Amino acid sequence: MMRDRRRGRLSRREPGFRAVRPLLEGLEDRFLLYATTSTQWAKPKLITYSFVPDGTSIGGVPSNLQATLNARFATADWKAQFAKAATVWQKVANVNFSLVPDNGAPLGTSGNQQSDPRFGDIRIGGYAMAGNILAFAYLAPPANGGTNAGDMFFNTTQLWQINGTTVDLETVAIHEFGHALGMGHTTDSAAAMYPTYVTTKQAVDADDTNGIRTIYNSRQNDFFDANGANDSSRSADDISSYLYSNGQLTLSALDSTTPIMIGVNDVDWYKVTAPASTTGTMVVRMQSTNLSLLAPTLSVYNGAGTTMLGQKVSYNMGDTVAVTINGVVPGQVFDIRAQGSTTGDAGFGAYGLQVNFGSLQQPPVTSPNTTMAETADRGGGTMNESTDPADDSAPPQDDASVIPGIPTFWVYNDDDATVSEDAGVVGPNDTGGDSSDTAAGSSDGGGGTTGDGSSTDGTTISVGDLTGQGDALMIDPSAGVPRRPRAADAAAPWAPLWWSARPARPAAMPVQAPAEGLSLITTIDFLNQTNDLNLPFMTLTRPKKQASDTRPAQIVDLAIATGA
């Protein structure tokens, strides 16, 4: 009875008491929203890009991107938007970009898939398209196995802006570089790879970063960082043993990697001792030119790393800086600090380091060998829209060097013949060309994709006789971006609004007065007579020949600014 009474007292509830059943809160679902396209560059250690000259044939349509953008901005300013867009991806993935010249060969011409000497791996042009499209890009290999892989084209009827709110050039360029690297569209509206233009996005978010790293991995530590961080003068790597008898050394495939902490950049310290053969002058050079778009900063200190003896800072993307120290004596020790000039996107990328105590001119660091021959198109690859729970495991290493994930770097002998160094072992049998890359992207159509295996075919985009697999960035009707209508609504958005009557060719012809019996028809006149929409846009224009004249028509390049 006492037990029952005790149970009754324990179970008696106070007034107002309400029993609450404990609940277990489920973990938040984690889904990968990004998409990859089963495409990738086989040798991402250096991917070049170039701007096609105006008049270059895009399937028979002459490119007029440069005239369009030059009419609105200084050339250096609009080109910088593309460079900044490339560095956005260079910062978060194990890829490097470099700008090279373009000779104006027709888009899609036969040639190397990578490292064609005539133009960049990714070629950038533009022409007049429908008003609801901003730009499109052809996918990376193996979807497109020829020279058109990764090429991107911008709509020259759009009123492009720099740091604008409606049609921001860098925002669109980031999206198109993503496609050129192998990224598809995401369902994350905050990501750069969202399929429609919503607002200005001059960065990639976590969704974009996770996606690109399944293809190329994150930036990898170079040989010196991998063997112990050299991020302070106390842990500086002694590179004196790499000096040759001529008093010179060259180290390439060094890397300013993305740090764990936000708001800082990678700092690399090196130590060198002047040889007995020194001429009394030391020239130290840090080069990202033709290696990446890193903006370099180079500093030289005394051997204790406490007194700066010289510094050179450049905010130019893909540049070379040098510091000269005079009065050098044999046995004198110097500390060298190499880093990016900014903690922003241009503060990360590959670079080379050179030290010269001798009297001979030192040639620059050569670009890595990324030559890949043209291959057959692989039908567009796939676009994996991933909705699987996120995989927290590390992405697979796609590097074949001795140290997993660490690129090969090279040192040079007296004859400038290269030798390769991996894991501290120098071997003369390797030419230092491309041992750290795999060619899987061009052989099996694979390329670091994730997801549940579901896929959709890539989009076939044809411009005249140029055809490839690609993707486009469209205007979101709800975003307030002005959209220009077009008469032929049933046509593909990338179909040209205007075609040249003659074969397109790169030309820089000044606008001159027409010959007797000829009258120039301007872009606006052309539209007034042939298009009831009266839409002014920049394009190549064609003179109207009088019926009584038998002389051939002339083709002139006339750009008309449409205003802000």
Q: Where do the domains of the chain lie?
A: 35-219+452-479, 223-370+397-427, 509-564
Under a CB-based contact definition with an 8 Å cutoff, are residues 235 and 225 in contact?
no
Distance separating alpha carbons of residues 556 and 554, to the nearest angstrom: 6
- Asked whether 85 and 177 are in contact (CB, 8 A), the reply is yes
- Residue 470 phi, psi dihedral angles, 5° rounding: -160, -170
Enter the pTM of the model. 0.73
Q: Which CATH architecture has domain 223-370+397-427?
A: Sandwich (2.60)
Which CATH number applies to 35-219+452-479? 3.40.390.10
CA quadruple 99, 104, 105, 108: dihedral positive or negative?
positive
**Helix runs in 148-274, H state only:** 169-181, 206-216, 223-226
- CB neighbours of 496 closer than 8 A, spacing ≥ 6? 61, 127, 128, 129, 463, 464
**CA-to-CA distance for 549 and 195, rounded, in angstroms?**
50
pLDDT value at residue 535: 36
Distance CA 508, CA 296 (A): 35
Q: Mean pLDDT of residues grouped by 10 in the chain (564 residues)?
A: 47 51 49 81 97 96 97 98 98 97 97 97 95 92 94 96 93 97 94 94 95 94 81 93 96 80 76 97 98 97 96 97 98 97 92 97 95 83 30 33 33 41 29 35 34 46 85 68 46 71 52 38 33 36 36 29 28
Distance CA 250, CA 239 (A): 10
Helix, strand, or coil (residue 150)? coil
Quote the pLDDT of residue 558: 28
Element (H, E) at 300: strand 296-302
3-state secondary structure of 158: coil
The pLDDT assigned to 493 comes to 75
